[in-house]
Amino acid sequence: MNYSNQISEATDFLRSKAVTAPEFGVVLGTGLGKFLDYVDIEHTIDYAEIPHFPVSTVEFHKGKLIFGTIGSTKIVAMQGRFHLYEGYSLQQVTFPIRVLQKLGIKQLLLSNAAGGINKSFRKGDLVLLNDHINLQGSSPLKGLNSFEFGGIFPDMSAPYDANLNGKLHLKATELEIELKEGVYASVFGPQLETRAEYRYLGIIGADMVGMSTTPEVIVANQLKVPCAAISVITDECDPDHLKPVDIADIIATAGKADEKLSKLFYEVIQTFNS
Ligand code: HPA
């Protein structure tokens, strides 16, 4: 079955589960899930149940779509996302974004865990993406040379929505949460970077590095879904003072920043219908 029909089947399946059309999509990154405490949950659907949906292969990545409301806004959250390093194609990685858009989302917020390249970043910082560098070696639009998927050469001059970014800054200030800004570089992974690679990433203009988000943002731009993304800095990647990191530390650090990130997302979504 072709990609387009797979997207339709997955969407039809979710509609058959009586999910109400979500207005707002949220992608929860590694170690980030407290956001769900702010949601009045109506339906939880395992990825494994949804036709053609990839299933997360890494044990600490959960795999559920959560439908519910925040105030008067209908939301859908992805608890667990897919990564290139798991062996999926970028088309599979971004399959859920196409399904969410077909279900009706008007805006999208994403989060991720990232290494801090910018030397002023500290573990636990929240950093709003103001641009990105895709170093994953491919594109989620590869081979989709048909307008049914959106424009073939989507503009990427402003991939992160200025209006959403503005709201995130405003709410962060109100909540007294420090929100930095930076450029996110996405790499293939799953290995972390060498000192030379961290140095290189700094030289080419990256402030943080991770293994996700850019494919989803490229597709959201193709589909004209305004999006914004926040990184939680989970490790400091100064090549001259690099300490070994392990994934358990990364997840624990993300967990510590989870509450402030979740509150920020919650407050911004609250403004959607007001
Ligand atoms: N590199 C790549 N991905 C990451 C890192 C990192 O240092 N930290 C969290 N995700």
Query: Could you report the per-residue pLDDT of 70-90, keeping only the tens digit for each?
Result: 999 999 999 999 999 999 999
Radius of gyration of the chain (CA): 18
pLDDT tier at 149 (50, 70, 90 boundaries)? confident
**Does the beta carbon of 230 lie inside 6 Å of ligand 1?**
no
As a whole number, the mean pLDDT across the chain is: 93
Residue 80: CB partners within 8 Å, gap ≥ 6?
28, 47, 56, 61, 62, 63, 64
| CATH number reported for the structural domain that contains residue 233 in this entry | 3.40.50.1580
Residue nearest to atom 3 of ligand 1 (CA): 210
Asked whether 25 and 78 are in contact (CB, 8 A), the reply is yes
What is the per-residue pLDDT for 59?
57
Of 193, 241, 243, 251, the one to substitute when testing ligand 1's pocket (max ligand atoms within 8 A of C-beta) is 193
C-alpha of residue 228 to centroid of ligand 1, in Å: 19
Query: Could you report the per-residue pLDDT of 109-129, keeping only the tens digit for each?
Result: 999 999 999 999 999 999 999
What is the per-residue pLDDT for 20?
79
What is the domain range of residue 263? 3-270
Asked whether 185 and 209 are in contact (CB, 8 A), the reply is yes
What is the per-residue pLDDT for 56?
67
pLDDT at 222 over 80: yes
Q: What domain count does the chain have?
A: 1
**Does the beta carbon of 235 lie inside 6 Å of ligand 1?**
yes
42 CB burial (10 A radius; 0-12, 13-18, 19+): middle
